[in-house]
A and B are shown apart, each in its own frame.
Chain A
């Protein structure tokens, strides 16, 4: 089954404690992306990657890091989380050919105390 998986699905942490949210896709997609979803703001892109070892900033990259060492994985790293990073995070992927149809993971709800 084609899918995008994220782990963990729920996380409560404290300010300053480094964390990583993993994202993996099994569709051999080149493009992967991270979004955060906040009430009234819709989805805002954090970082995206066009392929292995190629990453670019989205609209709200501050406080986040990503890496793309393998095609299937695109982890999101918060080196020093702060309460304003409390949000619902989605990973997405798509192939580069044709009109874009992004496939989304189930989401990770992060609370930073």
Chain B
């Protein structure tokens, strides 16, 4: 079956630090990959996505590259802000499946 493994949190960084949140996946087909963000008290919002190998998704300074050879989709940002504090979820959709499979989420706290 499909699964998504995210790095354990929580992650605490100082403002302007570099962020990496690791995500690896297992899928039977060729999945589409997503990062969702959940700000405190809100629902999930799509942050970025990639639909095929070597695609790079980007949004709001965040980037993630679909690496088929390492089955990874790590989230990166060069300089985090306090407003980036949130829970980040990696997810996949296998082309043959109908639903998203989520990782367990990574809590990010950015300190001023």
Do A and B actually bind?
Answer: yes
A-B pairs with beta carbons under 8 A, tally: 52
Q: Mark out the residues of chain A between 18 and 75 whose CB falls within 8 Å of any chain B CB in the assembled complex.
A: 31, 33, 35, 40-45, 48, 50, 56, 58
Residues of chain B with a CB closer than 8 A to A90's CB = 43-44
Establish whether residues B42 and A107, one from each chain, have CB atoms under 8 Å apart when the complex forms: yes
A89-113 near B? 1/0 per residue, CB < 8 Å = 0101000000111101111000000
Establish whether residues A42 and B99, one from each chain, have CB atoms under 8 Å apart when the complex forms: no
Give complex CA distance A98, B71 in Å.
Answer: 23
Q: Is B58 an interface residue (CB 8 A)?
A: no
B90-112 near A? 1/0 per residue, CB < 8 Å = 00010000111011110000000
Establish whether residues A48 and B99, one from each chain, have CB atoms under 8 Å apart when the complex forms: yes
Q: How many residues of B contact A (CB 8 A)?
A: 20
Residues of chain A with a CB closer than 8 A to B51's CB = 99
CB-nearest residue of chain B to A58: B99
Residues of chain A with a CB closer than 8 A to B42's CB = 106-107
Give complex CA distance A35, B99 in Å.
Answer: 11
CB distance from B27 to the nearest CB of A (A): 14
Establish whether residues A100 and B44, one from each chain, have CB atoms under 8 Å apart when the complex forms: no
Q: Tell which of A42, A50, A92 touches B105, judged by Cβ atoms closer than 8 Å.
A: A42
Establish whether residues B43 and A33, one from each chain, have CB atoms under 8 Å apart when the complex forms: no
Give complex CA distance A104, B102 in Å.
Answer: 14
Residues A101 and B104 in contact in the complex (CB < 8 Å), given A33-B99, A48-B98, A50-B98: no
CB distance from A48 to the nearest CB of B (A): 6
Establish whether residues A42 and B43, one from each chain, have CB atoms under 8 Å apart when the complex forms: no
Establish whether residues A45 and B104, one from each chain, have CB atoms under 8 Å apart when the complex forms: no
Give complex CA distance A16, B13 in Å.
Answer: 44
Q: Tell which of A41, A56, A107 touches B104, judged by Cβ atoms closer than 8 Å.
A: A41
Give complex CA distance A58, B32 in Å.
Answer: 19
CB distance from A41 to the nearest CB of B (A): 6
CB distance from B107 to the nearest CB of A (A): 10
Q: Is A76 an interface residue (CB 8 A)?
A: no
Chain B residues within 8 Å of A, Cβ to Cβ = 4, 32, 36, 41-46, 49, 51, 89, 93, 98-100, 102-105
